[in-house]
Amino acid sequence: MIKSGFYDSDSNESYRCLIKAVQKEQGSLPSVEKHADMLSSNKLQGLKEKIGELHYAKFAEQQERRELNKVKRDMSKGALVADSISNLVADMNFAELPKSKIYKNQVKSPSSLIICLSDIHYGADFSIPQNEYNPEMSARLLDEYAGKLISFIKMRKDIIHVHVVNLGDSIEHAQMRQQNTFEVRKTVSEQVTEIARLIWKFLARLSEVAYVTYEGIAGNHDRLNGNYKNALTGDTASTLINQIIRSLAEVTDGRVEYVEAKDYYFTDIDLMGHSFAFVHGDKHKVDSNNSVLSKLGDIHNKHYDAVIAGHIHHYKMTEVGENRFQVNFGSFKGIDPYAVQQGFASSRSQGIIVVNKKGYEIRRVTL
């Protein structure tokens, strides 16, 4: 190339013409028609790429708009629930509740009692051949449960301090399953405020015969967002109920004490040399996984005597070590349409734990 006087093949037009002449003699140069097709193909490919970029940008914009609208809907829903709860609480007459008689500085108890509230599902409303349940029955059953506990405490004569632990699913909600909408009478805000009032009345009745502490964790029905994949940690009816109970406890002159749970979904209690863990049972399969007790011990670096849960709506107790147990307490609801559909059956029940220095006893309480 240099001998022929060509020094730069990129910028020398004469050299490029020479190459084309050689290609033409060899028959390797594209025809005019083929060259035009190549140019058209390149332009078409470029056009396709440009359309693809525009489509991607439009799709990304649509996704961003959807996310923004979702946040706006969730914020509006949360604000609406908060406003409704505030209005309903303001209308409640808590002065009618029984007066407490035992104060914290009077507590010197040989034995203590842990009382569990499990799966109240307030707001559920159904009637099937096997069972019926509605908000009025929730109130009646809570009152009946309190009456049984008061009789038990009076009979024992050695219990002055009771620890009430709410295991979750205090409300039915309306977004857990498709049929829930047809089995719920009240709005979420009504469910939250009304069950908070009933729980407070329950605590106040117990405080006639013992000093009462209360703490609560959340269940799957307590999620304010029915879809667990989109739920925010702590965004639950349980959190709202706890705040209402805390506010009321602060104005009761030390008659009922609110205790902050260790976590939104977990708490534990140490009593007289024994330790008990509490979960709802949806995240920790207490009924089917016998390693839950030991795993909770590893997570919290603690030796637990028992783990107590609800969730499955029937009583079950499994010994998983020497005098160590995994326990599920029942529900206020009993058998419901979902249980019938799934082939489950159970009766209404709750549970308590009597604790003293000699040991502890787990009991089922029928309703």
CA angle 142, 143, 146 (to 5 degrees): 85
Identify the domain containing residue 200 by its residue range: 102-366
Please state, in angstroms and as integers, the Cα–Cα distance from residue 246 to each residue in 46, 116, 196, 240, 346, following that order. 66, 18, 10, 10, 33
User: Is residue 121 domain-resident?
Assistant: yes
pLDDT per position as a tens digit, 57-112:
666 666 666 666 555 555 544 555 556 556 655 665 555 555 656 656 556 778 99
Asked if residue 87 is part of any domain, the answer here is no
Which token pair is 173? 């909600």
We report the CATH number of the domain holding residue 182 as 3.60.21.10
Sequence-distant (≥ 6) Cβ neighbours of residue 33 within 8 angstroms: none
Q: Pick the more confident residue, 153 or 175.
A: 153
Total number of domains constituting the chain: 1
Looking up tokens 């207490």 gives 286
Supply φ then ψ for residue 99, to 5 degrees: -85, 135
pLDDT at 251: 76
Report the chain's terminal Cα–Cα distance, integer Å. Answer: 103
Structure-model confidence comparison of residues 229 and 116, the more confident one: 116
pLDDT at 182: 56
pTM of the model: 0.74
Tens digit of each residue's pLDDT (9 = 90 or more) over 306-364? 999 999 999 999 999 999 999 999 999 999 988 888 888 889 999 999 999 999 999 99
Task: Tell me what pLDDT residue 13 has.
Answer: 64
Q: Is residue 107 part of a domain?
A: yes
pLDDT at 238 over 70: yes
Q: Is residue 64 in a domain?
A: no
Is 179 a domain residue?
A: yes
Pairwise CA distance, residues 29 & 32, whole Å: 9
Lowest mean pLDDT among 121-135, 245-259, 266-280: 245-259
CA dihedral sign, ordered 153, 154, 156, 160: positive
What's the confidence (pLDDT) of residue 3? 57
pLDDT tier at 194, thresholds 50, 70, 90: very high
Average pLDDT of span 226-243: 74
Lookup: tokens for 17: 């013409």
For residues 297 and 18, the model is more confident at 297
Q: What percent of the chain has pLDDT over 90?
A: 54
Q: Is residue 147 in some structural domain?
A: yes
The DSSP line for 308-351 is EE-SSSS-EEEEEETTEEEEE---SS-S-HHHHHHT-----EEE
Is residue 43 in a domain?
Answer: no
Please give the mean pLDDT across all residues of the chain: 82
Is residue 117 situated within a structural domain? yes
